[in-house]
Amino acid sequence: MKFNTALLHGDFRGDKATGATLTPVYQSSAFEHESAEELEKIFNNRAPGFSYTRISNPTIDAFEKRMTALEGGVASVACASGMAALYNAFCNILCAGDEIVSSASLYGGSIDLFRDLESFGIKTRYVENNNLEEFRAATNEHTRLYFAETIGNPRLDVTDIKKLAELAHSFDIPLIMDNTVATAYLVKPLSLGADIVVNSTSKYINANSSAISGVITDGGKFKWDTEKYPGMKDFKKFGPFAYTAKLRNGLFRNTGACLSPQNAFYNSIGMETLGLRMERVCDNAKTLAQFFATEYSDIEVNYPGLAGSKWHNIATEQFGDKFGGIITIRTGNKKRAFGIIDALKLPLIVSNIGDTKTLVIHPESTLNVHSTQEEKETAGVFDDLIRISVGIEDIEDLIDDFKQAIESVKDVY
C-alpha cells in the first residue's frame, strides 16, 4: 500500500467488538476479568488483554498500532507528551554514569531534559549535527546512545540518518531519532537504520492542536548487549520486542507516562489525513520560502527546500521533492521580528508547530528562554528570528498577509 492508503487501511482499522469504524474511546481505567487466573496471565504477559489504562487500553492500542505501521517499526508506546516519550525512550536504556552524544541542534525542551538528566548522573555531549568526526570524538566507553532530530527544530538542519546510524552501530550503540518535524511523510528513520524513533504527536500527527501526546516506536533490530545495557537482561527473551517489553513493564508504567484514551482517539482521527496535509503544507512552505528569498534582500530565509540551503542536498536525497512545513526568517533585529509577528493577521502566535493553521513564534524569547547563549547559537536561535509553521491555508492569502505585515513595519525598523 502507498502512504495515504496505508494510513487508512491497516489492521488497526475499526473495532472488532462492535463494528465501529474507528476504535471508540474506551474511557475506562480498569478492565474486568472472569477469573483471578485470567488476570494473572495478563499481568505476566502470558495472555493478551487489558488490565489497567496506565499500562494499556484498547483506544491507545489502536493509535499505537497506527503509529507502528506509519513508522515501519515492530511496536509503539504512546505517552502523555512528546517530552514524556523522549524521557522514557532515553531512560529505558540508561543508567547513572552513562553518556549521550547528541546533535546540538535540538528542540529547546530536549536541551532542558538533558540538563535534568545530569542530576541522575547522565551526561550529554553536544556536537555539530552531521559532523561524524565530532560524533566519533565525543564517543567513549560510557556512551549509550546517539540522538538527533530528522529536521532540527528550529535550526532546520537535516540529519544524514544513514551515516549517523552506521557510525552508532560501529560502536554497538543505538540511534534514536526525533521525527516530529519531518514526520514519516518525508522519511521513515527506521528504514534508514535508526533504531528507535520518537514523535511528538501533538504536532502534525494530531493535526489541530487538540491533544498533547508523544509516541516511541521501536524498529526491533538493535542487538542489545547486556553488558552495556544490564537492564535488558530480563527482556532479551522477547527478541525484537525486548526494548518495548522493558519499557511497558518498567519505566513507562512506573512513571505513569500514559496517554489518555480520549487524546489517543483525537490522534487516530488526525493522522488519517497526515499525507494530504503534509503535501499541502510542504507546497505552501516552499512557495512562501521562495517569496521571502526573491522579494526581500534584507530578510534571510532558512528552508531546506531552497537550493541555497546548506542542507538541501541531504534533504533531497532523503525526502525527495518535499521539505516539510517549517521556515525560519531572520529579520535583522528583534524589534522588527516582533513588529512583523504583531502585524500578521492570519498566523496564530503560539508555541507549537504542525497545526492546520499557520503559526508563528519568536523562539529566542520563549521556547529557548532557559538555554544558555551558546546553546541558543548551536540550536540556531537568534533574537531576530521568527519561526513559521506553515498551515494548509490558500497560499495567496498567506503571501498577502506576510507582505502587508512586512510593509507595515518598514518605516519603523
Ligand X SMILES: *Cc1c(COP(=O)(O)O)cnc(C)c1O
Q: Which residues contact 17 (CB under 8 A, 6 or more apart)?
A: none
Q: How far apart are CA 366 and CA 345, in angstroms?
A: 21
Candidate list 129, 200, 328, 389; residue touching ligand X; CB under 6 A:
200
| Nearest of 359, 325, 318, 357 to residue 341 by alpha carbon | 359
How far apart CA 292 and CA 232 sit, in angstroms, is: 50
Contact (CB, 8 A) for 177 and 197: yes
Q: Would you say 64 and 79 are in contact if contact means Cβ atoms under 8 Å apart?
A: no
- Fill in the per-residue mask, 305 to 344: x = in contact with ligand X (CB under 6 A), - = not in contact: ----------------------------------------
| 203 vs 336, beta carbon nearer ligand X | 203
Closest approach, Cβ 213 to ligand X, in A, equals 6
Q: Rounded to 5 degrees, what are φ and ψ at 12?
A: -85, 0
Q: CB of 86: closest distance to ligand X in angstroms?
A: 6
Rounded to a whole number of angstroms, the minimum distance from the CB of residue 149 to ligand X is: 5
CB of 129 vs ligand X, minimal distance in Å: 13
| SS3 state of residue 379 | coil
Interface pick for ligand X out of 56, 88, 183, 202 (rule CB under 6 A): 202
Cell numbers found for residue 160? 544524514
Supply the minimum distance, in Å, between the C-beta of residue 313 and ligand X: 22
- Cell 538555554 sits at which residue? 371
Other beta carbons within 10 angstroms of residue 352's beta carbon come to 16
On whether the CB atoms of residues 134 and 126 are closer than 8 A, the answer is: no
Our CB check for ligand X shows the closer of 110 and 371 to be 110
Shortest Å distance, C-beta 379 to ligand X: 11
Site map 82..101 versus ligand X, x via CB under 6 A:
xx------------------
**Which x/- pattern over 43-82 shows residues binding ligand X (rule: CB under 6 A)?**
--------------------------------------xx
Residue nearest to ligand X (CB): 82
Which CB atom, from 299 or from 326, has the smaller least distance to ligand X? 326
Which CB sits closer to ligand X, 203 or 286? 203
| Comparison of 143 and 263: residue with beta carbon closer to ligand X | 263
**Residue 153 lies near ligand X (rule: CB under 6 A):** yes
User: Of 107 and 235, which has the nearer Cβ to ligand X?
Assistant: 107
Which positions from 216 through 235 interact with ligand X, judged by CB under 6 A?
Answer: none
Burial class (CB in 10 A: 0-12, 13-18, 19+), 318: buried
Q: Which three cell numbers stand for residue 255?
A: 512513571
3-state secondary structure of 236: helix
Query: Is the Cβ–Cβ distance between 204 and 277 less than 8 Å?
Result: yes
For residue 240, the minimal CB distance to ligand X (Å) is 26
3-state secondary structure of 6: helix
Nearest to 305 by CA among 281, 275, 337, 331: 281
Rounded CA-CA distance 388/360 in Å is 5
Work out which of 129, 139, 180, 378 binds ligand X, going by CB under 6 A.
Answer: 180
Window of 54-62, 200-208, 318-326, 386-394 that interacts with ligand X by CB under 6 A? 200-208
Strands 214-218 and 196-200: antiparallel
Determine the interface stretch with ligand X among 119-127, 161-169, 178-186, 287-295 (rule: CB under 6 A). Answer: 178-186
Nearer to ligand X, 220 or 363 (CB): 363
Site residues (CB under 6 A) for ligand X, limited to 99-128: 107, 109-110
Q: DSSP states of 266-311 as a string?
A: HHHHHHTTHHHHHHHHHHHHHHHHHHHHHH-TTSEEE-TTSTTSTT
Q: Is residue 150 at the binding interface for ligand X, with CB under 6 A as the rule? A: no
214 lines the binding site for ligand X (CB under 6 A): yes
Q: Per this entry, what is the length of the chain?
A: 413
Q: List contacts with ligand X (CB under 6 A).
A: 81-83, 107, 109-110, 149, 153, 178, 180-181, 200, 202-203, 212, 214, 353
